[in-house]
Structure 1
C-alpha cells in the first residue's frame, strides 16, 4: 500500500510561511485518519452482523416451519424396506376376454393408533371391540397401555366403520388412505385369479401383491407403472365361467362327489374359456393354507390344474389314433378282444365280455381295455411315449399360473411293456384335466399342437403337426360314435353334435393298491364333432349316484350328464346356434303376388 507522507515538505514550508505549527497540523491529520479508519471498521462489522442475522433468521425460519409440519403430520409406522424405495399402490385391473372386470382396486382406509396421543385408552378399547367383533377389548387395552407407540388396528375398514371410529373422538385413532383389491364377482374364477394381499405398507399407502393364480404370476406386470393402467386381458369368458360353475356345483351335489373340475378350451388357440375347481372360495376373503392333512382337500387346491389323476379310458383314443397314423390299423380293422389278456402276473380284463373281436372303432365305442392294450403292443413303448409327449401329456403345462409347476404328470419309473398296455387305457400315468384338454384339442383340431393359455389371443396358434387331418377326422368320428351308440349316450346335446370319451379310474390307496368304491370319473368331449371349436373336460372326484336300483360310479352315469348340461348352457353363450335339421313342410305352399 502507498501511504501519503504525513509531513510533505511543501505543506510544512507553507505552514511556516503562514505562522502555523507543523506539529499541530500533523496531529490533526493523524486524528482525522484514525476516525476514518474507525468508521470504516465499524461499517464492515455492522455489515457482517447484518448478514449473520439474516442467515440465522432464515435457518430458524426453515427449521421452525419443518418442525411445525412434523408436529401437525402423522408419522409412518416403521417398515422393513430398502432405503429410498417408494411404495407403489396402484395395480392394474384384470378383465375377461370381453373387457368385463374380474379384479380391480377400491379406495378405502386403514385404522391405526398413535398411542401417545390417546386420551382415554380404556374407552377406545371398549368402543373398538364393539365396532369390530373380531377384536378383543382386553388385547387392545393391553396394547394401548404398554410400551408400544404405534399399533395397526385394521388394514381395511368400511365407510360405516370409519364413521363409527370417528365418533369415538379419540385423537390417537387415525385413518390412512389406501387401495384394496376387489373381486366384484365373488367366488367366480377364484382359482384362476388367486388373490392378493398387502406387501410393504405405511400409514399413507400400501403395496398390493399377488399371492396365487394370475395375480401372482403377472405380479410384475400388474404393479408396473409403465403400463399406465392397461388391464391384463384373460382368455376366460365371465358369463361362460359363471354358468360352468353353477352347472358343475349342481352336478357335484347331485352325484355326491367330494370335488369336481372342468376345463373348456378353444381347440384352435389353446385359450381356456373357463376353468372350474370345486369346492372354491371367495378371493375377497381368501382362507388360510392348510398346515396339516392332504392339501388336495383344501378349497385353495386347483383340481383342474394341480390335480393329477389316472384318468382312465379317455386315453384310449390316443392309442387308436396313433396306430392309424402309423399305418398299423384302420378304423375298421378287427382287434382281438378275447380275454382276459395275461402278461406275466398281470391280467387285463374288460368291464363286459365283448366277444372274440371288435373293430378298432368299436374298441373305442365299447371301451375295451383288452383291445386297446393289444393296439398299444403294436405301437411299442418308445413310440407311445414319444406320441404322448407331442400331445403335451408328459411335461408340466405352460399355463400362466403359479400353480402350474405343481401339476407335473406322474410317469412310470420303468416304461415297460405292461406299462405301455395299461397307459393305453389310462392307468399307470397321471395327468391333470388341463393336460387332457390340451391333448384332445391338439388331436381333434386337425392335428396341430396347441399350447394352453389363460391369456387372450388374437387368433389361432398352430404348432407342429401331431397327426394328419385324416386321422384327426377319424378320431372325431369315433368320439361321435361313443356318444351316439356307446358309453356316453347321456352326452348327446341336440344341435351341437357332441363327441367324447368316458373314463373311470379307481383311486389309488396311499398304502398301495386301489379302492373298490372310490373313482375318478371323467368325460372328455368335443363340440361340434364335425367342425370342432371347443373341448370340454369334466371330472368328478368320488361320485356316486343311485340309478336303476344300483349305486353308479362310472363316468357314463356321472360325469357325462353333467358335461351335457354344461354344453347345453354355455354353447349359446359362446355364440353357437344349434344345428337342427329343418323339416320341409308338406301340404302347404306359399306364393307371393
Structure 2
C-alpha cells in the first residue's frame, strides 16, 4: 500500500517559489485522506447491513415455516425422553362372549416429587397428607428436606386428586401420564381375570403386566402390538356370571359356609360360561397374599381350580358307568348292600340301612357306599385307575389359568384294593370342582371327553370316546332319578329336567385325619337331562343348615338347594325355555275312545 505524504517536498518547493503557504498543502492532503477513509467505512457498513438483513430474513423465514407446520398438525402432549428400551403401554381389552368389557385400560397420572425444586417442602408435605390421608406427614417432610433428588408419591390417582395436588402450586410436584388397568365390574369374575400391576416404570409411562388369572396366562398376547389391539374374548357370559355369584353368595351365607364355588360349563364345547369362588376380591384393589396360615383362607384362593377336595358320592357314577361300559352289570343288576363291608381292618358302612340288595340304579339313587364298593371290586384297581385317568382326574386341568397347575389331584401313594373301594365313592382321591365339571360334561356329552376352556370359540378337537353313548345315556337316566326320587330331590327345577348327584365328604385336616363336624358338600348337576347342554357344579366348604331342630350338613340339605336356585336363575339367561319333560315310552297309556 502506497501512502501519500502530507507535505510532499516537490509541492512545498513549488509553493515557496510562487509565494504560497505550504501549510495549505498539508491541510488539503489531510482532507482528501479523511474523505477516502470515510468512503471505505461507509462501504463496509453497508455490506454488514446487507449480510445482517439476509440473516434476519432467513431466520424469520425458518420460524415462520415452523409455525406454519405446527399449526397444520394435530396437537399432542410432549413426551419425556427416556434412555433404554421403550416401555410398552398398550394392553388389549378382555371381553365376555358377547363383547362386554371385563378389563380395559384407563388414562391416569402418576405423582412424583423433585425436592430440590420445592419452594416450601414442609407445607407441601402437610398439604399432600390432606389429599392422600394414607401418606405420613413426618416421612414426607424428611424425604423433602433430606438429600433425595427424586421420589414417587403416587403411582396412580383420580382426576380430583390430581386437581387438588395442582392447587398446592409447588414446582417440585410433577405429574406423569400413564395407563392403569381397570376392571369396570369390580369383583365380578375376579378369580378368572386375576389382576394386573405395573412392571417397568418411567415418569412418562409404565408397562402393565398380569399378575394372576387370564391376565397373567395371556400376558404376552395381551401386550403384543402385533395383535393390533384385538381384545381377548372369554367364554364367560357376564349376565350369567353376575346371577350365579349373587345366588352363590346368598347360599353361602344362608348355609353358614366358610367358602363356596360354582362352575357352569357348556357340555358340547367345554366352554366355561360362569365360574365363581367365594370369598372373592376386587382386582382394582388386589389384596396381598397370605404369608402364613391356610392358603384357602385368602380371598385370592380360587376354590374352583386350586381347591382339591374329596368330592364324596359324586364319584359313584364313574364306578357304575365303567362297570356298565365293561359289561359287568346293567342298570337292573342286583348288588349286595348288606353291611358293613369288611376289607381287612377296614369297614365300609352306608349312611342309612338300604336293605340286603339294591339294583345298580338304586345304588346311585340311594347313594350306597357298600353297593358302589362291590361294583368297584368287579372293576379292579388297574382298570379303575385307567378310567379315571381318561376322565382327567390324575392330572391338573388344562384350563387357561396360571393357577391351574397348582390344582393337582392328590392320589393314593399305592392304588391298592382298599384304595379302589374308597375312591369309588369319593374318598382317598382329592380333585378340584373343575375336574368334576369336566368329568360330568363327558358323561353328558355322550361319553366323549370334554376339556374345560375359558376361550370363546376356541374350537378344540373332539376328545376321545371314554364310554359308549349308550352307557352315557343310562348314566344320565340314573342321575335324573337321583333328583326325582333320591338324595337330590331339592334340586328338581320345574321345566329344566335336572339330573345330578350329591356328595358329602368329611373335610381333611391339614395335619392328617378328618374333622368330625366339617364337610365338603357338592352337587354335580346336568340340565336338561334328556338333551344335556350345561353342567353345574356347586360346592360349599363347611356348610351347616340350621333351620331344623338339629344342624344338617349333607349336600342334599346344603349344596343342592343352592345349585337348584342357580339353575332357576341362570337357565332363562342361557336361552333355555321351560318345557315338559318327555315321558318314558313305558309310562304312556293308550286310551281308546
TM-score range, shorter chain: 0.7 to 0.9
- Judged with a 3 Å threshold, the aligned counterparts in structure 2 of structure 1 residues 440 and 554 are, in CA distance, closer, same or farther, namely same
Counterpart residue number, 1:335: 335
Deviation at 1:259, TM superposition (A): 0.2
Aligned to 2:457: 457
**What residue is the counterpart of 1:162 in the other structure?**
162
Residue 387 of structure 1 pairs with residue 396 of structure 2: no
Q: Secondary structure at the match of 1:405?
A: helix
Whether 1:150 aligns to 2:150 is yes
Q: Contact between 1:349 and 1:370, CA under 8 Å: does it hold in 2? A: yes
**Distance in 2 between the 1:528 and 1:461 partners?**
24
Structure 1 Cα separation of the partners of residues 436 and 148 of structure 2:
56
What are the residue-to-residue correspondences of 1:171-250 with 2, within 5 Å?
171-250=171-250
Tell me the distance in 2 between the aligned counterparts of 1:461 and 1:97. Answer: 20
Q: Deviations over 1:286-314 (max 9, x none)?
A: 00011111111100000000000000000
Q: Deviations over 1:145-188 (max 9, x none)?
A: 11110110000011111111011000110111110000000000
Return the offset for 1:467. Answer: 0.7
On the 8 A contact 1:268/1:461 being kept in 2, the answer is no
Where does residue 495 of structure 1 map in the other structure?
495
SS of residue in 1 equivalent to 2:208: strand
What is the CA distance between 1:461 and its match in structure 2?
Answer: 4.5
Shift, 1:581, TM fit: 7.1
The alignment's TM-score, normalised by the length of structure 2, stands at: 0.84
Shift of 1:521: 0.1
Aligned partners of 1:339 and 1:293: how far apart in 2?
40
Q: Structure 1: which 5+ runs fail to align?
A: 1-49, 59-72, 78-82, 583-593
Indicate if the aligned counterparts of 2:497 and 2:581 stay in contact, CA closer than 8 A.
no
Distance change (3 Å), C-alpha of 1:301 and 1:76: farther
Distance in 2 of aligned mates of 1:299 and 1:318: 32
Report the 3-state secondary structure (helix = DSSP H, G, I; strand = E; otherwise coil) of the residue aligned with 2:522: strand
Q: Say whether the 8 Å CA contact 2:79–2:204 is kept in structure 1.
A: no
Contact kept in structure 2, 1:178 and 1:204, CA below 8 Å: yes
Cα displacement (A) at 1:512: 2.6
* 2:331 corresponds to 1:326: no
The question of whether the paired residues in 1 share the 8 Å contact of 2:243 and 2:569 is answered with yes
1:258-298 Cα shifts (integer Å, max 9, x gaps): 00000111111011111100000000000001111111110
- String of CA shifts for 1:333-388, please: whole Å, max 9, x gaps: 00000000000000000000001000000000000000000000000000000000
Relative to 1, partners in 2 of residues 1:204 and 1:416: Cα closer, same or farther, differing over 3 Å? same
Residue in structure 2 matched with residue 565 of structure 1 by the alignment: 565
Change (3 A) 1:140 1:123: same
Residue aligning to 2:298: 298
1:547 deviates by: 3.9
Counterpart in the other structure of 1:35: none
* Distance of 1:461 and 1:240 partners within structure 2: 26
Equivalent residue runs for 1:193-592 within 5 Å: 193-457=193-457, 461-580=461-580
Q: Say whether the 8 Å CA contact 1:269–1:461 is kept in structure 2.
A: no
Local SS of the residue matching 1:552: coil
Separation in 1 of the partners of 2:325 and 2:423?
Answer: 18
User: Cα offset for 1:443?
Assistant: 1.6
Question: Following the alignment from structure 1 to structure 2, what is the Cα–Cα distance between the partners of residues 256 and 389?
Answer: 35
Question: What secondary structure is seen at the aligned counterpart in 2 of 1:419?
Answer: helix
Deviation of 1:116 (Å)? 1.3
CA contact 2:398–2:404 (8 Å) conserved in 1: yes
DSSP-derived class of the 1:510 partner: coil
Cα distance between partner residues in 1 of 2:364 and 2:118:
76
Check whether the contact 2:80–2:204 (CA below 8 A) recurs between aligned residues. Answer: no
SS at match of 1:103: strand
Shift of 1:76: 7.5
Distance 2:324 2:265 in 1: 25
Paired residue secondary structure (2:430): coil
User: For 1:458 and 1:222, how far apart are their aligned partners in 2?
Assistant: 17
| Residue 95 of structure 1: aligned partner | 95
Q: Secondary structure of the residue that 1:87 maps to in structure 2?
A: coil
How far did 1:510 drift?
A: 2.8
Structure 2 distance, partners of 1:458, 1:344, is: 49
**C-alpha distance in 1, partners of 2:138/2:546?**
54
Distance across 1 between alignment mates of 2:433 and 2:297: 17
Q: What is the SS of the residue equivalent to 2:152?
A: strand
Query: Is 1:118 the equivalent of 2:118?
Result: yes
> Which residue of structure 2 aligns with residue 27 of structure 1?
none
Tell me which residue corresponds to 2:71.
none
Relative to 1, partners in 2 of residues 1:278 and 1:452: Cα closer, same or farther, differing over 3 Å? same
Distance 2:577 2:461 in 1: 25
Give the Cα separation in 1 of the matches to 2:79 and 2:227. Answer: 32
C-alpha separation in 2, matches of 1:567 and 1:460:
26
Q: Say what the alpha-carbon RMSD is for the aligned residues.
A: 1.9
TM superposition shift of 1:459: 5.3
Q: TM-score, normalization: structure 1?
A: 0.84
Alpha-carbon distance between aligned partners in 2 of 1:84 and 1:204, rounded to the nearest angstrom: 13
1-structure distance, mates of 2:537, 2:400: 19
State the Cα distance separating 1:458 from its structure 2 match. Answer: 5.6
State whether residues 241 and 274 of structure 2, in contact with CA within 8 Å, keep that contact through their aligned partners in structure 1.
yes
